[in-house]
Amino acid sequence: MYYDRTLTDDFAKHIMPGGQLRWLYDFVKNRPDLDFLVVKNKDVEAISIYRGLTRIMTIKPTRNTGIVNIDAAPTYKEIAKEFFGVKSVSSITKEPIELIINHLMANGIKDWYYGNKKEGYYQNELSRKHGICSSDDSDFVIIDKEAVIGYKDESEKKQLFSSLQDGYKELQRKISELDSKRYGKDLDKKAIGNELDFLALNKNGDIQLIEYKHGSNTSGIYLSPLQIGLYYDNFSLLPKKVLHDGITRMLEQKQRIGLINENWKKQEFSGKIIPVLIISNSNVKSSACTKFYEILEFCKKYKGSDFLENLQTYSYTTDGGLVPWGNI
């Protein structure tokens, strides 16, 4: 197992201060609807730009440090065909990106991934607030998005992750068996535990595993103890030093780039991993809260009374920020 999504220096330098793509950093930071996602594992290294849940473009390195591969969904390639493919870093301009953004903006509320002001909109806002727009006194900073643990091979992944996942799949099955009308039919056929929304670090040195939901996603909210439990169990398997060293390297690189405020001070790691649920625009009339606690108690019955005992839950709004949600 490993956890380190730090970009290689030769690739990261392009968006560092003084890099040939530094203008792209400024472009994204100055637009409240955009954000970066940087990823690296043994198979992939990439810098992507997102508008809500929409991936506008992805830049990947090649063997030549001055040449990159620019990719996107076929729909966006049609809008700016000349922009995509293998290109020199110096040839990349913002105009094709603006064309794609204008296309998305023209959809207005029909843009389900940002313009409708639901999940993608608030996830983007939260990510920027605790990332590229964070301050030196932010309560927490987001170290990683769509976070995943790496494995040396499929055998190790099957042994460590798949065995955990199978246990939660069984819980999903039992919940459907308990009351499929109330909780959902064939829940065990639904994907679970693929990517953690946010891995963050707070001012106390606690590692936070954050799962984000929009208030309109009722089933996603009340079934979230399963997702969060799987992420918590999985990250808890990582040796502390491996996890801490990976987070430290990612934090330091993101501060050099400007994806996290450079003056935010990291405290010594507390050794705690805290599972967190954040719900934007929660609906007080929804059954989500009641069912959430029912599912949480059901999981405790099989996983033990200490299951997610340190879980924190928050509601998030643009004006009010984070406030406690539920009865935890």
Q: pLDDT tens string for the chain (328 positions)?
A: 999 999 999 999 999 999 999 999 999 999 999 999 999 988 899 999 999 999 999 999 999 999 999 999 999 999 999 999 999 999 999 999 999 999 999 988 788 899 999 999 999 999 999 999 999 999 999 999 999 999 999 999 999 999 999 999 999 999 999 999 999 999 999 999 989 999 999 999 999 999 999 999 999 999 999 999 999 999 999 999 999 999 999 999 999 999 999 999 999 999 999 999 999 999 888 999 999 999 999 999 999 999 999 999 999 999 999 999 987 6
All residues at 6 or more sequence positions from 91 whose CB lies less than 8 Å from its CB, including other chains: none
All residues at 6 or more sequence positions from 141 whose CB lies less than 8 Å from its CB, including other chains: 130, 131, 134, 200, 201, 251, 260, 261, 264
Per the CB < 8 A criterion, the answer to whether 56 and 33 are in contact is no
Give pLDDT, residue 74.
Answer: 94
Runs of H (alpha helix) within 185-266: 218-222, 224-237, 240-257
CA–CA separation, 174 and 179 (whole Å)? 9
CA–CA separation, 208 and 206 (whole Å)? 6
- How are strands ordered across the β-sheet holding 67-71? 35-40, 45-51, 54-61, 67-71, 85-88
Instruction: Give the gyration radius of the chain's Cα atoms.
Output: 20
How are beta strands 273-280 and 312-317 bridged, if at all? parallel
Give pLDDT, residue 111.
Answer: 86
For the entire predicted model, the pTM comes to: 0.96
Give pLDDT, residue 109.
Answer: 75
